A and B are shown apart, each in its own frame.
Chain A
């Protein structure tokens, strides 16, 4: 037996620190779920979840970086270890197999990982190290990994979905002409019933109707003004026509009488 070098002790110490952080954040999440009534707001839950996920990530990196050392190291009680008072801890440290509960978590995690082939290597790597860890924290880690892996779709499926979705959504969007808060089908069925069905609280304007009204208003305005200007103004009214003759040509005509077309 060799005494571990300072470096190795440091690595072990770091693992311990990170696991403490993880247990802390998990503990605080559990307390907040248990104690606060009503349940904590979504943003605070999100924040806690992302803290936990960061913790998990840093542990995972740390473990895989020090894979070799953690694999080879094994715990042995020194003669001066207070066996009588801390027998429980000693038993935990000397375990060669995982706690049955933890065994369950790990196997569930493995199953989920097998589905996602890419993740399998790193996951089993970290799972394999549980033997050197105190069972309680290992359980926490295992649960986290399982939770993350149980998403349902594999990476390949997700990629395929993302490839398919934008094209399909675009094609679907092109089939319709947009604008307005209601579809034609809905309008035919009567907007009131749709509103009641969806439980809309705010009354959305039906754009098509209001546009028509606006156009009528505009016609009226122009009609009033066009009395003097004659038909020419009336013909151009209502439509949004941009001038066809450039301003400079009009100015030239005004100055010299040269018609724009003649130039």
Chain B
């Protein structure tokens, strides 16, 4: 599965207007979306295969080795949440006490970490060169079991790095998914970086945008099931360029810096 992407930076004062413009363009109301995103990083090579197995075994073995001994990647675990999950009380000392004493977070918050659905999203580094005017990358997703994902992820050789919340609105325009979003961070006291995903969520008001001025990112994406089909890829690119033309007077959609979407773990 391949993703073709264009991005644009949207300043906060333009956000409201752009929402209306997109509503008009796509003839649909924005679908508000809130996601918890956990970032995991591969800590060890996924597998150890004997690379000197002999040349006679052919191309399959070469490919297998490449997969197993290939580069390590960052990967994301995404869980949809709703604003109701962000309960004001959970950050108060009272509810911290409650959770420490093991009386369960249900007392203070409606958010139930154990029934949080998760999805694993893998994104390759964008392809180099060929389509320099558009960001194209290999993408794959898979559903994960509900609840605590950390043990499973650890077992696969991934360790938790950080988490944030993505707030935004989704529009669908023909085959293009338009996502106008921004990153919200949890307020973290210095030196108290959590080493695992939060089991409870703080009040929504305590989240602060990563970009202090509150700007948004507009992402236009087309997913192509068969990335090897050049015809499909070309059509998809043209659709994105068409959207870029339509939005030209409002925002400037462009491809992202390839290295900023580099998911390889060094």
Contact = CB atoms under 8 A, between A and B. Distances in A.
Interface in A223-263: 225, 228-233, 235-257, 260
A251 B261 contact: yes
A99 to B, nearest CB: 72
B118 interface: no
A246 B12 CA distance: 14
Contact of B212 (A222, A229, A245, A255): A245
Contacts of B162: 257
A242 B183 contact: no
A256 B256 contact: no
Contacts of A65: none
Contacts of B256: 247-248, 251
A253 B214 contact: no
Nearest to B262: A255
Interface stretch (B97-105, B150-158, B202-210, B235-243): B202-210
A225 B13 CA distance: 12
B12 A237 contact: yes
B157 to A, nearest CB: 17
Tier of interface size on chain A: 20 to 34
Contacts of B183: 250, 253-254
Given A225-B16, A229-B167, A253-B183, A245 B211 contact: yes
B39 interface: yes
Contacts of B215: 241-243, 245
Contacts, number: 107
A221 interface: yes
Contact of A256 (B161, B204, B205, B208): B161
Tier of interface size on chain B: 35 or more
Contacts of B217: 247, 250-251
Nearest to B135: A251
B9 A243 contact: yes
B39 to A, nearest CB: 4
B74 A256 contact: yes
A253 B16 contact: no
B7 A251 contact: yes
Interface in B174-193: 183-184
Interface in B23-77: 37, 39, 41, 74
Contacts of A230: 204-207
Nearest to A225: B16
B31 to A, nearest CB: 14
Contacts of A257: 39, 41, 74, 161-162, 164
A252 B262 CA distance: 7
Nearest to B214: A236
B210 A245 contact: yes
Contacts of A231: 205
B74 A242 contact: no
A75 B112 CA distance: 121
A260 B210 contact: yes
A42 to B, nearest CB: 41
Q: Would you list the 9 A-B pairs with minimal beta carbon distance, nearest first?
A: A243-B215, A230-B205, A236-B214, A248-B260, A257-B162, A241-B213, A257-B39, A247-B9, A248-B257
Interface of A: 218, 221-222, 225, 228-233, 235-257, 260
